[in-house]
Chain A
Amino acid sequence: MSKNLNKLLIPVLSVILGLVVGAIIMLVFGYNPIQGYSQLWNGIVGDVYVLGESIRQITPYILAGLAFAFAIKTGLFNIGIEGQLIVGWFAATYVGVVLDLPPGIHLIVALLAGGLAGALWGFVPGILKAKLGVNEVVVTIMMNYTALHVTNALVRAWAGKDTSERIHETASLRIPAWEEATMYSRMHAGIFVALIAVFVIWYILKYTTLGYELKAVGLNRDAAQYAGMNVERNIVIAMIISGFLAGLAGSMEGLGTFEYVATKSSLTGIGFDGIAVSILGANHPIGVIFGAVLFGALKYGSLSMPNPPAQIPEEMISIIIAIIVFFVASTYLFPWLKEKFTRKKGAN
């Protein structure tokens, strides 16, 4: 009983502790933490509009976190989710604008295009790692910038300006009925895509030979090789699937949130946040959902904090959110402290 209670208690306590420290910071600088946090809360679930937008924000985080979690199971640090996401965004939007297909089919083709573009962007570091032993961290980081500037050039060459046309309705993830019900929030059906992806990845890792092999490679590459597994092939497959998931995350933006693609002056940040989401979720597919909910909700809800009466400045909000995430991430601190405490007692 005590163990189960601990499992539940520790994450809750770390959230509370993060909130308390955030509150102290607000107090020190002369802001009202109650107003601040109540605006944060209302900014996440206060009405149907913000609720819809929060879900909209959470959707790509789930897929980006899943992409990182999947690669890490095979022992690969995919820092290139950002780049895979951007090319996926572009490819999905391109298909959404250029092709003319019946409803449903168009959406599926556009989603696949986004995923495949991301998979391609994941395949390159994968094959370099497998065949030549090139460190995937370096390659994926560099390919983020390649993706950014290549898509910027492609958008300009294709659209002739900084923003593409909007995608056809047949390729859109948005649901008009939902939009009306949520006071025109941009919540879209992508959340189902994300949840299905979570289930599929969970299933692959848990019940398939492929998943077993990928995990074996991640645990001990040499042992996996010795056991007769094809390590090179598994590395490439892991990067392709991870890239596919990141590409899907980009499709959420292209087919749901924005419905167009624009040139960007910097990386989106969703890919990097995806790393934190995955770690918060203990790199487990189901855990990623919770990580994404926490991260996405805080990120979106904090947009409401500069409004009166709290009027907390933007920069301070970033600090508060970072502290909350920090405390949640350092959950392992509690068992460690507890162990130390117990030992001392025992010695006495």
Chain B
Amino acid sequence: MKKQKWYLLLLLLAVSLVLAACGGGNDNAEGGDGGDEAAEDNFSVAMVTDIGGVDDKSFNQSAWEGLQAFGEEYNLEKGDNGYDYLQSNSDADYIPNLNQLVRRNFDLIYGIGFMLKEPIMEVADQNPEVNFGLVDDVIEGKDNVVSIMFKEQEVSFLAGVAAAKETKTGKVGFVGGMESPVISRFEEGFKAGVKSVDPNIEIIVNYVGSFGDAAGGQQAANAIYSQGADIIFHASGATGNGVFAEAKERIQQNPDQPVWVIGVDSDQYEEGKVSDDVNVTLTSTLKRVDVAVKEIAERAMNGDFPGGETITFGLADNGVELAETGGHIPQETWDVINEYKQKIIDGEITPPGTPEEYENFLKDLGIEE
């Protein structure tokens, strides 16, 4: 009996110590809160990430950068009545996270990624007074939901042109995350760009089956480089970190045999850095999710929320573009790229976004596969 009391006493002491310590902190924090309450009701916007997380160096991060830029421009603070994000650890978290943001009275709530489609449809029906935005997929017929799409095939086409011009071995590669309509647009656009420049270039395609498997990405890149390709375009989220790792390893072991990676979604120049002089990132296809979420947020703030519509961002409205960081692409190649870019903007060339469109595209070019 005696010993038990001794245990209890020790624990009680520890608990009370901690509680006392916290008590002090609490007072300060409450003082801070009081100041906030005086603020007026701002237009507030928030987002829910998919399971990639907010620092995925890809579109979740890009979207968050867009919200931060929006907040900075209109003097908003991170948190309630400003801008904020919630991360999802599993598919089951999407709806609770969306609902939390609804209850925190955000005016506009984005779901980043096509996995958020069903959850947004459900929550949007239950909360018709709140506006939602979905990136990368389309929800039709809901007045409080706007769908944001990108013409990935257009910028991937330009990446294909760059790869075709810059390859020394006549072989290029593509690493995909999971097979899906979005990744299909990357793949088919890229292939069409390559074939438009030189139909004889071989394209090796490899899907890893995940957006979060860096080890799998490294294996895929290893297989493609080993088959003689010297440039890989990846559209695979965090899996692509493995593609960069493989390229960096190869160039360190064999500096005379250059290999390149074309990054995706955000400027991945930093990912390709080996030393101050050596970098394996040829360029990146930028999907300006940040531009898109900021623009839609501004429209919503000004009472012009495009509910029920699908807004598509392409080359023409700077929603997608090819990164110039690093200057690895020579001017002659840029001239060719810009030529194709103008043709796409003018509608002379329509890059394919599905396997069927790609086949037709090849037929129009007069190539038999």
Decide: A23 and B87 in contact? CB cutoff 8 A.
no
Q: Is A35 an interface residue, CB under 8 A from the partner? A: yes
B97 contacts which chain A residues (CB < 8 A)? 303
Query: Interface residues, chain B, CB within 8 Å of chain A?
Result: 1, 3-4, 7, 11, 14-15, 18-19, 21-23, 25-26, 29, 33, 51, 53, 79-80, 86-87, 89-93, 95-97, 99-100, 104, 114-115, 117-118, 126, 177-181, 209-213
Decide: A308 and B18 in contact? CB cutoff 8 A.
no
The answer to whether A311 and B79 touch (CB under 8 A), given A260-B118, A266-B51, A306-B86, is: yes
Decide: A53 and B96 in contact? CB cutoff 8 A.
yes
A53 contacts which chain B residues (CB < 8 A)? 96
Decide: A303 and B96 in contact? CB cutoff 8 A.
yes
Decide: A264 and B91 in contact? CB cutoff 8 A.
yes
A268 contacts which chain B residues (CB < 8 A)? 90-91
A6 contacts which chain B residues (CB < 8 A)? 4
Q: Is A163 an interface residue, CB under 8 A from the partner? A: yes
A32 contacts which chain B residues (CB < 8 A)? 22, 25-26, 29
Q: How many of A's residues come within 8 Å of B, CB to CB?
A: 50
Decide: A34 and B91 in contact? CB cutoff 8 A.
no
Decide: B90 and A269 in contact? CB cutoff 8 A.
yes
CB distance from A263 to the nearest CB of B (A): 6
Decide: B100 and A338 in contact? CB cutoff 8 A.
no
Q: Tell me which residues from 148 to 203 in chain A have a Cβ below 8 Å from any Cβ of chain B.
A: 149, 152, 156, 161-163, 166, 184, 186
B53 contacts which chain A residues (CB < 8 A)? 314
B179 contacts which chain A residues (CB < 8 A)? 156
Q: Given B7, B18, B29, B93, which contacts A35 in the complex, CB threshold below 8 Å?
A: B29
A121 to B90, CA, bound (A): 23
CB distance from A44 to the nearest CB of B (A): 12
Closest 6 CB pairs of A and B: A34-B22, A308-B79, A265-B210, A265-B211, A184-B126, A314-B87
CB distance from A38 to the nearest CB of B (A): 10
- Show 9 A/B contacts (Cβ-Cβ < 8 Å), sorted by A: A34-B25, A57-B92, A161-B180, A163-B117, A166-B118, A257-B92, A263-B180, A264-B91, A342-B3
Decide: A152 and B100 in contact? CB cutoff 8 A.
no
B117 contacts which chain A residues (CB < 8 A)? 163
Q: Is A2 an interface residue, CB under 8 A from the partner? A: yes
Among the interface residues A184, A268, A269, which one has the most CB atoms of the partner chain B within 10 A? A184
Q: Is A253 an interface residue, CB under 8 A from the partner? A: yes
The answer to whether A307 and B11 touch (CB under 8 A), given A34-B22, A265-B178, A338-B3, is: no
A269 contacts which chain B residues (CB < 8 A)? 90
CB distance from A209 to the nearest CB of B (A): 39
A16 to B29, CA, bound (A): 24
